[in-house]
Amino acid sequence: MKNTTIYDCKIVELKKIHNRAGNITPIENMQDIPFNIKRVYYLYDIPSGEERGGHAHRKLKQLLIAASGGFDVKLDDGRNKKFVHLNRPNIGLMVVPGIWRELNNFSSGAICLVLASENYDEKDYIRKYNEFKKLKNI
Ligand code: TYD
């Protein structure tokens, strides 16, 4: 997590199976994403103007998907920042460990689906930006 950068956080284009009755995007462990999925959760009913995230992780890898609506993701490795707008259900954003992330500008009805490589563990969170910078040797 010490040496990861925002450039390790890649957009992943997921399959889209399209027909006249709508679309399906399947995500299979280790095949469509480069980690084993241990946990799935989703953010929804986010009041307008609210921000989520505001932390980094020591070990956790995540794939963020705008399953409905859209939102902005700010990624920060302590040196560089990058902004990504997610608004397509077949596009994922891979977030590696050691990246500070903030999510905001959620559209009404937005759903942020998160596939995660680890079970929930509060000890994996870095919630203070100062501590994050220290861990990144900045
Ligand atoms: P947090 O990850 O800080 O939310 P966000 O990054 O979306 O702003 O989690 C908010 C709260 O939810 C926190 O008290 C921990 C709890 N939580 C779980 O119990 N299990 C989980 O899998 C997640 C993601 C959060």
Best probe residue, ligand 1, of 40, 41, 103, 122 (max atoms within 8 Å of C-beta): 41
Per-residue pLDDT at 45: 98
What residues contact residue 120 under an 8 Å CB cut-off, 6+ apart? 39
Confidence label for 30 from pLDDT (cuts 50, 70 and 90): confident
Q: Measured in angstroms, how far is the CA atom of residue 14 from the centroid of ligand 1?
A: 25
Q: Which residues are catalytic?
A: 55
Tokens of 90: 């077949």
Ligand 1 geometric centre to CA of 88 (Å): 23
Prediction pTM value = 0.97
For tokens 């399209």, name the residue: 18
66-91 per-position pLDDT tens digit: 999 999 999 999 999 999 999 999 99
